[in-house]
Structures are given as C-alpha cells and as structure tokens.
C-alpha cells in the first residue's frame, strides 16, 4: 500500500500542483525493490514462480524430478551463484564508498544493495531444499 500512496502523492503533486519531487521515485524503489527480492525464496517454497505447467504436469513424477534436477543444475544454481557473487561485490563497493542516492541524498543505499546477496543466499538455500526434494522424487517415483 505504501507504494501506491507515494505514486498517488507524486502524480498529484507533479500534475496538479506543478511541484514534482525527485526523491519520490527513489523512495518507492528503495522500499519496493528489497521487498520484492526478499519474497523470492518464499515464492520458490510454494512453487509460485513462473513455469510452463501445461507441459510439465503431463510428465510422471519421476520425469518431473529428473527435469527439475537438470534445470536446477544448468540454470538455477549457476545463475544464483553469479548473482550472489556479484551482489557481494556490489554491496561491498557501496559500503566502502559510503554511497548515497544521487537525487535524494539517501544514506540507505548500501543497506538496499546488501539485500541482493542476502535474498539470493536465501533463494539458494530454498533452491537446495527443492533440489533435494527433486532427488527424493526421482528415487521414490512420487511427489515429495
């Protein structure tokens, strides 16, 4: 709800009062961005990420488990490892230079950038749990 309130405030201020605020967009991004990233692992836990269920659900549980194992090894883990590594560099650099935002001079930029490796770390942990479930699904031949 906070995001919509800021947008409404900014639109009214800019369009009707002819008084735009440069900081409003940054505040929205700094609130919404970390919130969105921290939800990634939770979303993976409940299998709510986008995938092609029309094809996937036609396979047997064992075949689905094999597909999950392959896709996690080829796509998920390498992607998360790269983003985690780069996120650490990104946030470390932000902390070391005491980065602030350009237009609003917000000092929370390093905190916001630290959310990247934290969120990806949580996503990796959840991905590992899902990967282990896929292995168990292949062994048992049924949904785990």
Separation of alpha carbons 132 and 144, rounded Å:
10
Burial class (CB in 10 A: 0-12, 13-18, 19+), 82: exposed
Question: Would you state the pLDDT for residue 8?
Answer: 82
Region of 20 please: left (phi>0), alpha (psi -120 to 50) or beta.
beta
Task: Find, among 113, 122, 118, 74, the residue nearest to 92 by Cα.
Answer: 113
- Please write the tens of the pLDDT for every residue from 9-33: 888 888 899 888 877 777 777 888 8
Q: What pLDDT band is residue 4 in, cutting at 50, 70 and 90? A: low
- Please write the tens of the pLDDT for every residue from 29-67: 788 889 999 999 999 999 998 877 888 889 999 999 999
């Amino acid at each position: 709800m906070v995001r919509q309130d800021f947008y409404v405030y900014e639109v009214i201020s800019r369009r009707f009062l002819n008084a735009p605020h440069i900081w409003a967009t940054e505040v929205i991004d700094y609130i919404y961005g970390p919130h969105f990233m921290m939800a990634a692992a939770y979303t993976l836990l409940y299998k709510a990420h986008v995938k092609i269920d029309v094809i996937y659900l036609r396979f047997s549980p064992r075949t689905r488990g094999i597909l999950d194992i392959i896709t996690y090894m080829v796509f998920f883990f390498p992607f998360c490892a790269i983003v985690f590594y780069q996120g650490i560099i990104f946030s470390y650099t932000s902390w070391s230079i005491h980065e602030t935002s350009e237009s609003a001079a917000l000092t929370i930029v390093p905190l916001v950038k630290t959310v990247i490796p934290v969120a990806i770390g949580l996503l990796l942990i959840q991905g590992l749990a899902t990967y282990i479930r896929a292995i168990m699904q292949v062994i048992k031949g049924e949904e785990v």
